[in-house]
Amino acid sequence: MTSSELYGYQLREHQRAILAYQGGLMGVSAVPGSGKTLTLALLAARLIIEGKLGEEGEVLVVTVQNSAVDNISRRIKAILQAQGLPPVGYHVCTLHRLAADILRIRNDIAGVEDAFVIIDDAERDSLMTHAVNTWVAGHVAYWSSFIPDDNRNARTSWQEQTRKIGLAAVKACKHLRLTPEQARIQARKVGITHDIALIGLELYAGYQNYLGTQNALDFDDLIWRAIDALDEDASYTEGLRRRWPFILEDEAQDSSPLQETILRCLAGEDGNWVRMGDPNQSINATFTTADPLFFRRFLADPVVKTCALPESGRSASPIINLANSLVHWVCQQHPEDEIRRIAFEEQDILPTRVGDPQPNPPAEESHVRIITEPFPDLETLANRVVTKAVDYGRRHPGYSQAILCPTNKQGAVVVNEFAKISPKPPFDDLLRSTPQTRHVTGVLEKVLVFLHKPSVSSQAALYETLAKGGYLGEAQAGFRLRAQKTLVASAPPEQVFFPTQAELWYESLPAQARPLPEELPLLARFVELAARWLRAVVLPADQLVLTIAQDLFRAEGDLAITHVLAGRLRSLWQIHPEWRLGEYAAELSQIAQNKRSLAEIAFVDAGYEPRAGRTAVTTMHKAKGLEWDVVYLICVDTLEFPDTSDDVFRSEPYYMQERAPELETSAVLEQLMSATGIQQDVPALVQHSRREQIAERLRLLYVAITRARCDLYISYAGTSGKRPVRLPLALYAIAGGA
């Protein structure tokens, strides 16, 4: 392929090399903002258009998040339709959806019941909490013996640490495809005597028992059992290979051993498998079994053709130079050799060339500042950064801004500083969800509250919500909301929504209490909707919510949010079949009040886009995939980004000197299937795990830096809690060029 255009898109040289792909194994390393998603969509469309799939074949595109599924699907569809072709020949899904589809067809050979339930991460955490509470109640004295300072704070923290121990054990054992009983037998066989790791195995057994009683599978189970199905039925696997002769994998840096196994099985020995990702943006290993090692190993395989997408038009050159300097310093000068090897691939982000459709912002208009002197505390730091962001926004209303923090707790301090300012400056609290997510959830919550217990007060509250949101039609100037609420509350629900006579409930009221003519359409629409929903209460909660959403919402983002909420309610119904609408409304209330996240939906899914004149507040992890004109990174200190494995780590409890419960559990149990015998030197294992954490935190810093387009400011406080901290060594080293 030599043309600089494909299907109307101008191609860069490196994109042309990727889009010339004909088959086999290929790995693509793509830097931030390099157009990876577009390239993936173009490749899928080209394979379809050129007839590479056979009569019934499809391109299988596997990605990590639902937001990416929708984004890639829309792009492929648009390309095909622009070429006058129907939008068919491709299947885009998350790995978990792929595994669920495989299991639903052949669950019999995977040892899974027909009507299995899939639980999300929130329900997984809840079940593990139950397992911990049950185990602790039966081992109070032993459990308490781990806390030298047995005060309330230590006990509360140790309870949370115990939950993390259980989750670490689940992750390690399912990564090895070991049931609780198999893990216990193997632990005895290889001689594991580590106290905390053995607690982890007991918690794994309790957690899995809860899953079993509810016929439920978590995400790791899905992939594990799908692999079992593929291993057991060669003809079934061969049929899937014919259906999906080409596999394109997005975000390959976040792959896990199970993910790699299932895709390799589907591709077959001589299959066609393209993996795209950025090893330098792998930031999920702390929460999942993902590890950039697997993608790197794939790229290093001599039978794999390797390509790169090194050009990015996202950021100005000073920001690009800072990100590249971080990578080079870590790879060449970090004080620990192991971190030099595992943290980054030493690849540069390159600015786009002259004439590129996405030119970099002008370097002369870009500012990068690393503030090496600390602010006295977090509150002072947050106040200064918020003040600067508000002032900048007033002077430059055409720019979008973001304040990115390592944790939600720090972000809450920033949000509190915004709340102190009057009048309220334009900002978006994205710590747990987007404003749009909270709005949609709040509307649905009000409907469920009314349907659970219809009353004059709940119907008046629902009317206010729908009228204010514009869901009943456009209100005329001078619309009297208070008077309308009073009117709606003047009769019980049965008279308002199901009158037994032709006369409407308000027609018998005194003339001064009746609605104005221009208000009648809103009241009629309210009665129509609420009556329809009251008739629909026989539906399961998830279907009821979808029914309500179809009546109210039109925007894709609102409907996407509703579908995720419906999935959450469906999972809750399967786990808690005794629940009524009141319990489901309470769950929605937690999300609407920003007390609980909707982790299954990405910001892009929820319709969020950085907007000029507004400042977003969120964490560095949640900022991945987004970009702003101006970015402030705060709390960039050695507690959040440790320099060496001897530093203090936030994840390690202060009251357990020289112990790292979660790391110890993972490090010990990952050896369960070791062919060479286990390593008994737990401190050495923990040191290795700490280095992996340091490497991941450095990649998180890289991701945070590359969210900025024009301006970037990095700062920290001299204390984190009661602990003194300093600027990380990496930033000191590269600050001279900033």
**DSSP string covering 72-137, please?**
HHHHHHHHHHHTT--S-SEEEEEHHHHHHHHHHHS-GGGT--TT-EE--HHHHHHHHHHHHHHHHH
Say what the pLDDT of residue 693 is: 92
Domain check: are 464 and 572 in the same one?
A: yes
Query: Using CB atoms within 10 A of its CB, is residue 86 exposed (0-12), middle (13-18) or buried (19+)?
Result: exposed
- Kindly tell me if the per-residue pLDDT of 519 is higher than 90: no
Domain check: are 493 and 574 in the same one?
A: yes
711, β-bridge pairs: 367, 630
The torsion angles phi and psi of 643, rounded to 5 degrees, stand at: -80, -45
Residue of 584, 605, 586 whose CA lies nearest to 437:
605
What's the angle, vertex CA 208, arms to CA 202 and CA 194, rounded to 5? 25
What's the angle, vertex CA 235, arms to CA 233 and CA 241, rounded to 5? 110
Residue of 456, 455, 388 whose CA lies nearest to 418:
388
Q: pLDDT band at residue 114, thresholds of 50, 70 and 90?
A: low
Query: Using CB atoms within 10 A of its CB, is residue 403 exposed (0-12), middle (13-18) or buried (19+)?
Result: buried
The torsion angles phi and psi of 56, rounded to 5 degrees, stand at: -120, 5
The whole-chain average pLDDT of the chain stands at: 89
Say what the pLDDT of residue 577 is: 80
Q: What is the pLDDT of residues 396-409, one digit of tens each?
A: 999 999 999 999 89
Q: What is the CATH number of the domain that holds 89?
A: 3.40.50.300
Q: Which of residues 340 and 505 earns the better pLDDT score?
A: 340
Domain check: are 560 and 514 in the same one?
A: yes
What is the spatial distance between Cα 47 and Cα 79, in angstroms, rounded to a whole number? 12
9, β-bridge pairs: 6
The tokens describing 308, both together, are: 């790169």
Q: pLDDT band at residue 1, thresholds of 50, 70 and 90?
A: very low
Domain check: are 210 and 228 in the same one?
A: no
- Kindly tell me if the per-residue pLDDT of 212 is higher than 70: yes
Residue 132 domain boundaries: 117-214
Domain check: are 208 and 295 in the same one?
A: no
Residue 618 located in a structural domain: no
Q: Mean pLDDT highest for which of 297-301, 433-437, 552-556?
A: 297-301
What is the spatial distance between Cα 308 and Cα 277, in angstroms, rounded to a whole number? 10
Share of the chain above pLDDT 70, in %: 95
Residue 397 located in a structural domain: no
Number of residues assigned to the chain = 738
- Cβ–Cβ < 8 Å for 653, 155: no
- Look at the chain and report how many structural domains it folds into: 3
Q: Collect all residues with Cβ–Cβ distance below 8 Å to 137 and sequence separation of at least 6.
A: none
- Kindly tell me if the per-residue pLDDT of 110 is higher than 90: no
Q: Which of residues 608 and 2 earns the better pLDDT score?
A: 608
Q: For residues 479, 481, 482 and 484, what is the CA-based torsion angle, rounded to 10 degrees? A: 90
Q: What is the pLDDT of residues 343-383, one digit of tens each?
A: 999 999 999 999 999 999 999 999 999 999 999 999 999 99
Residue 712 located in a structural domain: no
Domain check: are 549 and 521 in the same one?
A: yes
- Kindly tell me if the per-residue pLDDT of 2 is higher than 70: no
- Kindly tell me if the per-residue pLDDT of 234 is higher than 60: yes
Residue 200 located in a structural domain: yes
What's the angle, vertex CA 94, arms to CA 92 and CA 97, rounded to 5? 100
What is the spatial distance between Cα 84 and Cα 132, in angstroms, rounded to a whole number? 57
| Residue that has been written with the tokens 């995939």 in this structure | 625
Domain check: are 506 and 558 in the same one?
A: yes
The tokens describing 737, both together, are: 């060029």
Q: What is the pLDDT of residues 155-177, one digit of tens each?
A: 999 999 999 999 999 999 998 99
Residue 601 located in a structural domain: no
Say what the pLDDT of residue 268 is: 92
The conformation of residue 505, written as its DSSP 8-state character, comes to G
Q: Which of 164, 180, 214 is the last residue of a domain?
A: 214
Domain check: are 454 and 581 in the same one?
A: yes
Helical spans, DSSP H, in 334-434:
337-342, 378-395, 408-419
Share of the chain above pLDDT 90, in %: 63
Q: pLDDT band at residue 738, thresholds of 50, 70 and 90?
A: low
Q: What is the pLDDT of residues 302-332, one digit of tens each?
A: 999 999 999 999 999 999 999 999 999 999 9
Domain check: are 471 and 586 in the same one?
A: yes
- Cβ–Cβ < 8 Å for 320, 312: yes
The one-letter amino acid at 612: A
- Cβ–Cβ < 8 Å for 613, 401: no
Strands 9-10, 25-30: parallel, antiparallel or unpaired by DSSP? unpaired
Domain check: are 480 and 581 in the same one?
A: yes
Model confidence, pTM: 0.84
Domain check: are 490 and 565 in the same one?
A: yes
Domain check: are 73 and 169 in the same one?
A: no
Q: Which of 250, 284, 309 is the last residue of a domain?
A: 309
- Cβ–Cβ < 8 Å for 540, 579: no
Residue 297 located in a structural domain: yes
- Cβ–Cβ < 8 Å for 246, 61: no
Q: Which of 291, 309, 327 is the last residue of a domain?
A: 309
Residue 672 located in a structural domain: no
Say what the pLDDT of residue 107 is: 66
- Kindly tell me if the per-residue pLDDT of 117 is higher than 90: no
- Kindly tell me if the per-residue pLDDT of 477 is higher than 60: no
What is the spatial distance between Cα 706 and Cα 701, in angstroms, rounded to a whole number? 9
Mean pLDDT over 17-39 rounds to 95
Residue 678 located in a structural domain: no
Say what the pLDDT of residue 490 is: 86
The one-letter amino acid at 426: P
Say what the pLDDT of residue 605 is: 53
- Kindly tell me if the per-residue pLDDT of 607 is higher than 70: no
